[in-house]
């Protein structure tokens, strides 16, 4: 069975500092990996994805994620956090066996001025 783990319920970072939101996954076959962001009372918005190619994926709003096959991780990063980045972040994954996406439990990012 597929699984996605986001080990931190909440990440706190000061504005201007780099941020990392962690994600590890377990799927069969080659992984398809996604990050979504959710603002209050809104749906999930696509940030970025890894399908194949370069391990460093760049996405919306200055976010990027690094695919690490040996560690089965896909951590979300941003060099300089903004207060407006404060939101709930979800990692999702599936394998090439044709399964649906499996979502992690979400990580709340709090960026303080």
Kindly tell me the sign of the dihedral angle through the C-alpha atoms of 79, 83, 84, 86: positive
Site for another protein in 42-61 (CB under 8 A): 42-46, 49, 51
The reply to whether 103 sits near another protein by the rule CB under 8 A is yes
CB nearer to another protein: pick between 33 and 81: 33
CB nearer to another protein: pick between 24 and 104: 104
Determine the Cα angle at 46 with ends 28 and 70, to 5°.
35
For strands 24-26 and 3-5, give the pairing: antiparallel
Applying CB under 8 A, the residues found at the interface with another protein are 32, 34, 36, 41-46, 49, 51, 90, 92, 94, 96, 98-101, 103-106
């Amino acid at each position: 069975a597929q699984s996605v783990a986001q080990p931190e319920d909440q990440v706190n970072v000061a504005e201007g500092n780099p941020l990392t939101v962690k994600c590890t996954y377990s799927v069969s076959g080659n992984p398809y990996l996604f990050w979504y962001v959710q603002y209050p009372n809104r749906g999930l918005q696509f940030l970025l994805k890894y399908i194949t190619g370069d391990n460093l994926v760049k996405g919306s709003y200055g976010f990027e994620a690094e695919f690490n096959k040996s560690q089965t991780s896909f951590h979300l990063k941003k060099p300089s956090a903004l207060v407006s980045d404060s939101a709930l972040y979800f990692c999702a994954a599936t394998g090439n066996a044709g399964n649906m996406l499996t979502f992690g439990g979400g990580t709340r990012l709090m960026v303080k001025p």
